[in-house]
Amino acid sequence: MSGRKKLLGGLTSDIGIDLGTCNTLIYIRNRGIVSSEPSVVAVERGTRKVVAVGHSAKQMLWKTHGEIIAIRPLRDGVIADFETTEKMIKYFIGKIQSKRWLIRGPRIVMGIPSCITEVERRAVIEAGYKAGAREVRTIGESLAAAIGAQIPIFEPAGHMIVDIGGGTTEISVISLGGMVVTNAIRQGGNAFDMAIIKHARKVHNLIIGDQTSERLKMQIGNASPDKVIEKVEIKGMDAITGLPRRLEVDSVELREALQGPINAVVEEVKKTLGQTPPELAADIVERGIVMTGGGATLKGLPKLLSKETGVPVILAEDPLLCVAIGAGRYYELIKGRGSNGVLYDALGS
């Protein structure tokens, strides 16, 4: 019996989930990131039966026949299709529950944007419970990202975090375990992709899809001038003739196409700095701004942000994983801190 108790004691059920518009990442305490897959679900049109989830479902986007539809159930960081989101979370949790080191009924902490409504937040929590969790909490994405980036958030000092996800960008100033100033806009990596799609249509009369624009962004996307001009050939449909066509695009043109959403992010960071108390702003000038999220990996974006604000900008190590890691460390951090309530208030409910 003692051996069985020892085995059960070694199992863990604390999960951090970055429920992103583009990707869903799952972190388990003492195990690290155990799942990272696209937030896409393919279902049968009539029965809504799940056909594929994650990587296999993403391959079906814009390529399905009439009986199957591939869905992104989250839009701008919030649930747009509750039923499909619930099925997606249940699938991911079920997939990792097949491992011997995870017991049933996990405690889940989900990273969510601060700009969502209370109704939207409750929808996230309900989806977690329906997916089989025994306890569900939420945490602001920027605070989770700060924890995941190993920023000492409990210090009496100002730390600024800029988290650029797929659907939202959240900027926060953190001190003593709480968010002093927080702003968010519903623009992120998806807005970068859409800017490329619109540019190709407007300038070249070429219609391209989401996957093509995402690939283009990742290969030669950039936010500030570089010595080397890169070129990539893309394929799409001519908007006038309706025939397939090839087009060569360079990094200079792509930088121009991305100016709109990039400027929106920069202006939001400036706005947040302007709202920061002077003493905390002085700390930020000394310590710098930390960037996380997939959108932060856009080439030259940290350099541009530093130039525009006059503040050093650091790209976090593993920026795509920070929110999931921070959410997964929630219970570890609140242990022994419940008496003053600081972390409870800061991390949500």
Token look-up 């397939």 returns 244
Average pLDDT over residues 176-189: 90
Average confidence score pLDDT of the chain = 87
CATH code for the structural domain at 152-187+263-317? 3.30.420.40
Q: How do residues 83-96 score in pLDDT, each as one tens digit? A: 888 889 888 888 87
- What type of residue sits at position 336? G
Q: Which two tokens stand for residue 273?
A: 């700095």
Q: 152-187+263-317: same fold as 2-144+325-347?
A: yes
Judged against a pLDDT cut of 60, whether residue 344 lies above it is answered with: no
Q: How do residues 261-275 score in pLDDT, each as one tens digit? A: 999 999 999 999 999
Domain ranges of the chain: 2-144+325-347, 152-187+263-317, 189-259
Ranges 68-82, 140-154, 174-188, 204-218: which has the least confidence: 68-82
User: How far is 276 from 271, CA to CA, in rounded Å?
Assistant: 9
Strand order in the sheet with 231-238: 206-207, 231-238, 244-250
Token look-up 């839009």 returns 75
Enumerate residues 6+ apart whose C-beta is below 8 A from 13.
102, 103, 104, 105, 106, 107, 134
Q: What is the pLDDT of residue 174?
A: 95
Q: What is the pLDDT of residue 226?
A: 85
Give domain 2-144+325-347's CATH number out of 3.40.50.720, 3.20.20.100, 3.30.420.40, 3.30.300.30.
3.30.420.40
Q: Which fold has domain 189-259?
A: Actin; Chain A, domain 4 (3.90.640)
Q: What is the pLDDT of residue 183?
A: 94
Query: Which three-class secondary structure state does DSSP give residue 256?
Result: helix
